[in-house]
Chain A
Amino acid sequence: MTALTLTNVNKSFGNVHVLKDITLEVEEGEFVVFVGPSGCGKSTLLRVIAGLEDASSGEINIGGQQVNLVPPSKRGIAMVFQSYALYPHLNVRGNMTLALKQEKQPKAVIEERVANASRMLNLEDYLDRYPSELSGGQRQRVAIGRAIVREPKLFLFDEPLSNLDAALRMNTRIEIANLHRALDASMIYVTHDQTEAMTLADKIVVLRDGRVEQTGTPMELYNNPANQFVAGFLGSPSMNFLPEGLLGSGQNTIGIRPEDLYLSDDGPLAARVSHVEKLGGDTNVIAKIHDHAVTARLFGQHAISEGQELRFAYAADKAYRFDAAGQRLR
């Protein structure tokens, strides 16, 4: 059974057409990440699924039931917000139990679910604290706990990690992945961070300007991008794009990933180094080929300095070709 089906969903705010004909399926137990630059409509799409915004047209099915006219609380969803959105006047326990009390669940059920969730998230010691007494990471866990206790058919995460610092973000990312394994629940996760998308997703949906650009597993999208946008958006550092004319003749664009460039004395690409990032394990070389900046990711440590002349080569099967409109040429 599918957890979520969107059929030709459109959303307009006045004259602004934000979501354009979105059709999408989320399988039971799948972790789907919506990714795209800011303003691409990914958060709006999540809010439409949650029922916080009405779709202008199209059909939304959650767990086989059409929910276009169902209020958010009855859709069988739970949402984790970017700003946590904890109730400031309730303690952690109160925050987690509020929805269950609204549903008139029996006390024993509430107790049990809160106990389970707080054990899973290591929140047992904080149940009587108020949100203002918690750190950012703890607040985030409470927000997740508030979603877990509802045992929803579908979890919605709206950029849940963007307020955390880098170290905590990585830990929480792993926690969310573990949580997904433990709960075996369907989850939709919105982010603009391609690393989060690549590491968490079973399936990535790349959005741009309110349209689905491509859907697939992280490796499908990475190895086989449908167009220049997807190719440039996924992968870090992002893919290099060079005009074909630079390497011979033609009007198309060639895309080469930084890790596919290697040093070679008789390579076809002559470049002057403009900056070197030494990361220890990797060395990122930013170099200029005529006026085009390229990034090469070299494994290990290299004694390369600014201003140096280098030659790069690449395997022919690692080069992607895109036409002037950005579509992939195969």
Chain B
Amino acid sequence: MNKARQNPLNTAAMHGALILYTLIALFPVFVILINSFKSRRAIFREPLALPNTDSFSMIGYETVMKQGDFFLYFQNSMIVTVASLFFILLFGAMAAYALSEYQFKGNLLMGLYLALGIMIPIRIGTVAILEMMVATGLVNTLWALILVYTAQGLPLAVFILSEFMRQVSDDLKNAGRIDGLSEYTIFFRLVLPLVRPAMATVAVFNMIPIWNDLWFPLILAPAEETKTLTLGSQVFIGQFVTDWNAVLSALSMAILPVLVLYVIFSRQLIRGITSGAVK
């Protein structure tokens, strides 16, 4: 360890900066959480106060449970997010492997073409996407959302994963070839486990925007049975009256699953299993 790190003053400054950042980042979440447990009056009187015996109220959560099918929305969000992540990781990794492992004509062009999607927001194509979904009869199905999110996530996934796959030892793949493993087995059994940290990164980057998205659910799947959590919470926000208790309660509950998924993936981020494979 170098000297600068050992210096207690530097350590304190470093931790101070990190703690400050954590506080800033967590503050909105904290405000949402405390206010979701307060009565409507208390929210507006003192938005930053903690709930006490006077102001404590579960009215928001009760409203959310009663109105609308909250668990169905929750389930829809979960299905869409998990399925999209699965397809992004599967197809992204396969494309990245092809681009990094095999030399073929137009390899570089193909890579650039796939990376182009990072720079062009998919929402520009909303009208065309809607037309396509109408033509294929996918409007108001979860598949519509899964397909769109998969397309949206692929460019970044291919970009990040192909970079990591280039670092996987050629010797390891060749050892597999000599041992008679098929290219698919080499990909799934040898390469994927070694790029797991990168896969987790891609998963985290994609998961949050998908979970929080309002745009595509609103346009492609606004039917009651396909509503996602974010869209479902919108019923409490009206043009003239907004049921803040319900909105805040719904949001508090919506944060939870992402948090859990994030914790799962971030453990993978840290853990590398390369050690021992090649010196």
Question: Which A residues contact B (CB, under 8 angstroms)?
Answer: 47, 50, 52, 71-74, 77-79, 81-89, 98-99, 102-103, 130-134, 136, 139, 146, 158, 163
Contacts and interface: CB of A to CB of B under 8 A. Distances in A.
Contact of B171 (A78, A83, A88): A83
Chain A contact residues: over half helix, strand or loop, or mixed? mixed
B180 A73 contact: yes
Contacts of B178: 50, 52, 72-73, 77-79, 99
Given A132-B275, A139-B279, A85 B172 contact: yes
B277 A131 contact: yes
A89 B193 CA distance: 8
Contacts of B107: none
A89 B273 contact: yes
Interface string B163-181: 0000001011011111111
B142 to A, nearest CB: 34
Interface in B239-279: 273-279
Interface string B58-74: 00000000000000000
Given A85-B172, A87-B190, A136-B279, 5 more contacts: A50-B178, A72-B178, A84-B278, A87-B189, A131-B277
Given A85-B169, A88-B194, A89-B189, A73 B276 contact: no
B179 to A, nearest CB: 4
Contacts of A72: 174, 177-178
A139 B171 CA distance: 14
Closest 9 CB pairs of A and B: A132-B276, A73-B180, A99-B179, A88-B277, A85-B171, A102-B180, A83-B278, A85-B175, A81-B171
Contacts of A102: 179-181
Contacts of B180: 73-74, 99, 102-103
Contacts of B174: 47, 50, 52, 72, 79, 81, 85
A151 B177 CA distance: 17
A130 B274 CA distance: 12
Given A102-B179, A103-B180, A163 B277 contact: no
21 contacts: A52-B174, A73-B179, A74-B180, A79-B174, A79-B175, A83-B169, A83-B171, A83-B278, A84-B278, A85-B171, A86-B175, A87-B172, A87-B176, A88-B194, A88-B274, A88-B277, A89-B273, A98-B179, A132-B275, A132-B277, A163-B279
A131 B172 CA distance: 13
Contact of B276 (A71, A82, A86, A146): A86
A136 B205 CA distance: 37
Given A72-B178, A73-B179, A73-B180, A134 B276 contact: yes
Contacts of B277: 85-88, 131-132
Contacts of B194: 88
B179 A131 contact: no
Contacts of A89: 189, 193, 273
A130 B193 CA distance: 15
Contacts of B169: 83, 85
Nearest to B185: A102
B185 to A, nearest CB: 9
Nearest to B181: A102
Contacts of A71: 177
